[in-house]
Structure formats: structure tokens, C-alpha cells
Amino acid sequence: MDWSRLASELQSLLKLRALPFGMKMFERVDDMEAITGIRRPKEVHTLDQLVAQTARLGWTVGVTADNLVGAQCRAVVGLGNAKDPAWKSGQHMVGVWFEDQPGAEAHQAAMHCVEDGLYEALATAPLSSGRLDPPDIVLFYATPGAMMYFINGLQWSGYKKFDWSVVGESACADSWGRALRLREPSLSIPCFAERRYGGVLDDEMLMALPPADLGKAIEGMTALSKNGFRYPFAQYGIQQDVRAGMAVSYPGRE
């Protein structure tokens, strides 16, 4: 696939403020470290921070379990065999995000996570670089309006209803965790940690999806554009007679 072209078309259609990027899991650390231009963290980070280094700075970043703070970040992407009984109990979140231990344990069980023991490393890179050829999933941040337009593009051909859930804190499980595990388009409302540590803006959502679905959505948005539906959406006015505007999209509504 022409990753540079896909990235350019996505940015043009959705007016993205951050770079679309890829994420790829590796069974061997050596394979991850062989990527051209790979950067390895020298400090301990959240995965939100490392993702942001790719989306905001354009870096190609490779990580192992040792680079990630605590089991919560590691568990979502299946690094370091983090899903031990202590993690499953959610005890570290009791009194922090949840009133009691049963609530915290239920939250942990609700998260979409990659299975432990399959991979040793993970890398992220700007989609346009083509360095993860192919990435396991493609991700991008966008406004709610842009996300709706993207979803419309996904639904243009072969309509499918999307059912997404919100786990709450640790929302990366709703985006890259779910997409890596199920290989399905996965939309999330970024959580506190993503916004505090990952620099996610207040009006941004995160989409993660298999590369093939990205091409499908771009084709759909291109078709919608020919019908006059483009992002950002032109405001019609809340007090105008709606018939003239509707007639543009639906003939016979004059």
C-alpha cells in the first residue's frame, strides 16, 4: 500500500492536526530494533507519551515492557506478562478511580487487551514514513465531527453498524487494545492519562483500525465529497428555511 498517499489523503479529508500513525507488534526485540530510524526511550514512560511522540513529533519509537511504567500500560499491549493476579484485582485503582475493589476488578476484566506472551516489543511510526510495512493497525486523533465523517466513509459501501464501549480510565483499551485484539475499527474517548501524559487535546477522539479499513473509509469519504458532504461541515443556520439546503442533498425537497 502507498502509505504516504493514504496519510496525505486522510489528513486532507479530515484536516488533521496530528499525524496519522501505525502501530506494530513484534515477536522479537531484534526485529523492532532493525526498523530504520527507530528511537528507544531512555526513561520510563506511559505508552500514551510514546504514542504522542509519534503523533505530535513524527518520531519512530520502539518499546519493550521495561520502557513502560507499571502493569497497566503493559497489559493493554500484552508486554511483560503483566496480567497477574495483582493486576486483575485492580487493587492499585481502588480509591483512585473506583470506590471499591469489586468495581476496580470489574474494570480490569472489561478492558480489551492483547494476549500476554505473544510479543516482546512494539513500535509506532508516522504512517507516511512507511517504516511499519504493514502496520498492524493505523491510528489518528480527530475532532468528533471528523470522526463522524470518517465513520460515514466506512459505512458508504457494505454498511455496518458499529457498537463501541467506554471502559473509562485506561481508554487505550478501547482504541489500540481493542483494534489489536479484534482487528476491527475501534473508536475511543481518550481518558485522563492520555490527556495528562499523552498531550491529547480536549476536543480529540482516537480511532484505531486495520489498514484495509483505512483505504475503505477514504474511498467512502471521497464518494461522499462528490455528493457535497465534506469536512468541516458548512453551517446552514438554525433559523433558515431548511428546504433549499435539503434539496441540495435530496432532490425533490424544495
Average pLDDT, the chain: 96
> What integer pLDDT is reported at residue 211 of this predicted model?
97
**Cell triple for 102:** 469489586
Tell me how far apart the alpha carbons of residues 169 and 48 are, in angstroms, rounded to a whole number. Answer: 13
pLDDT score, position 254: 63
Please state whether beta strands 21-26 and 137-142 pair in parallel, antiparallel, or not at all (unpaired): antiparallel
Which pLDDT tens digit goes with each residue over 109-140? 999 999 999 999 999 999 999 999 999 999 99
**Whole-angstrom distance, CA of residue 33 vs CA of residue 40:** 8
| Pairwise CA distance, residues 131 & 79, whole Å | 21
Indicate whether 245 pLDDT > 90. Answer: no
Whole-number pLDDT of residue 252:
73
243 within some domain? no
Question: pLDDT tens across 152-205, in order?
Answer: 999 999 999 999 999 999 999 999 999 999 999 999 999 999 999 999 999 999
Q: Does 207 map to a domain?
A: yes
Q: What is the torsion angle, in degrees rounded to the nearest 10, for the CA atoms of residue 150, residue 187, residue 144 and residue 249?
A: 30
Q: What are phi and psi of 60, to 5 degrees?
A: -100, 120
Give domain status of residue 238, yes or no. no
Question: Could you tell me if residue 34 is inside a domain?
Answer: yes
Q: How far apart are alpha carbons 199 and 206 in whole angstroms? A: 12
What is the residue range of 174's domain? 3-232
Is residue 141 within 8 A of residue 206, CB to CB? The reply is: yes
For the chain, the domain total comes to 1
C-alpha cell at 122: 512494539
Split at pLDDT 50, 70, 90, the class of 248 is confident
The three-state secondary structure class of 205 is: strand
**24 pLDDT more than 80:** yes
DSSP 65-131: GGGBSHHHHHHHHT-SS--SHHHHHTGGGBTTTBSSHHHHHHHHHHS--PPTTS-SEEEEEEGGG--
pLDDT for the residue numbered 244: 85
**Residue 71 pLDDT:** 95
Q: What strands lie across the sheet with 121-126, from one edge to the other?
A: 61-63, 121-126, 21-26, 137-142, 205-209, 186-188
Average pLDDT over residues 57-73: 96
pLDDT band for 95, please (50, 70, 90 cuts).
very high
- Span 29-55, mean pLDDT? 97
Task: Express as a percent the part of the chain with pLDDT over 70.
Answer: 99
Please check whether residue 25 lies inside any domain of the structure: yes
